[in-house]
Amino acid sequence: MSDAAMMAEYRGSRRRWGFLAAALIIAVLPYVLTGNYWHTNLTICAINVLLALGLDFILGYAGQLNLGQSAFYGLGAYVSTLLITRLGIPFWGAFAAGVAFAGLSGVFLALFAVRLRGHYLAIASLGFAVIVHQILLNWISLTQGPLGIYAIPPPPPIAIPGLTAISFRNPVALFYLVAGFALLVYFLLDQLVRSPIGETLTAIREDEISAASLGINAAAWKVFAFGVGAAVGGAAGCFYAPFVGTLVPDAFFITESFTILAMVIVGGMGTLIGPVFGAILLTLLPELLRGIGDLRLVVYGLALTLVVLFMPGGLVQAWTLIRAKLVGAPAPTR
């Protein structure tokens, strides 16, 4: 076996062990961090991981500065909830519809903004997020506007032959559902970015003109990236609605897009694993600092500023440097 084949086999084995370790961590976390308070925060972490993964696929791999992730998040939540509460569609059917609608909305946005780059694309996507928020806020006959939608039911129980049905009114079961889905999305995106599709998107991110000279249709692949990233964001929204039990438009205000962007940047763009840790850190850090009152906002902001200034590659870059000093070898970035 050649050295390249051996290295590929080693990396594949390491990824498989990594997924197994992640599954074990998910399984034990609710028993390490006990109580409804921590179970709630764990589910929020899982939802934020989905949001960060979706944005990272658009920004980190396709190089498209999308500030409209909060819009896809909201669309997934409202479409699935309205189908459940107004039409009586079962949760998983509504879930699929919400994910599809968010993904198609991402495609729709990309079709109009595909020729924009940098801050022009950022402004266009931010404008889309503002429009969606205003629709959710002002279309009262459909969304109830600022009054909100209440009593959103959780996903239906899953019956297992010979065992007690799994009820998602239990916060631990709901965490397992969302975290398990996030792990599945991570696995699928990992396979995608390691395929020729990932290489194509990376080529577009690095140099779109050179990619076009190789026959790559950059516009089509940008639309594809937006569609996938938006669909993942919509899935997060579909889980958010039954988790909270109430939907109000302010939950999907444009500031949410900047929060998701911070998770991706702090974790490390274009790495998949980086945004996961960025989402976890920026979800739990404000809670851990809650004991110091308003000073936590200063500490939180200072931490973000220091990361951006001195570690532009985020937590992944920090880990790479630490590992290089400890064992003299660079850490993987994906």
80: Cβ–Cβ under 8 A, 6 or more apart, which residues?
A: 91, 94, 95, 97, 98, 237, 238, 241
- 149 pLDDT exceeds 80? yes
If pLDDT is split at 50, 70 and 90, which confidence band does 331 have?
A: very low
Tell me what percent of the residues of the chain surpass a pLDDT of 90: 41
- In this predicted structure, the answer to whether residue 1 has a pLDDT above a threshold of 60 is no
**Res. 5: pLDDT tops 70:** no
Q: Give helix 69-87 / helix 218-244 axis angle, nearest 10°.
A: 50
pLDDT in tens, 49-76: 999 999 999 998 888 888 989 999 999 9
Q: What pLDDT sits at residue 189?
A: 93
Structure token pair of residue 303:
């931490």
Q: Which of 26-35, 87-96, 184-193, 235-244 has the lowest mean pLDDT?
A: 26-35
Which is more confidently placed, 45 or 166? Answer: 45
Distance CA 257, CA 129 (A): 8
Greater confidence (309 vs 142) lies with 142
Q: Across the strands, what pairs with 149?
A: 247
Residue ranges per structural domain of the chain: 1-32, 34-254
Give the model confidence (pLDDT) of 186-232 as tens digits: 999 999 998 899 889 888 888 888 888 888 888 889 899 999 999 99
Give the pLDDT confidence score for residue 139 in this predicted structure.
92
Q: How many CA atoms lie within 13 A of 191 on its CB side?
A: 7
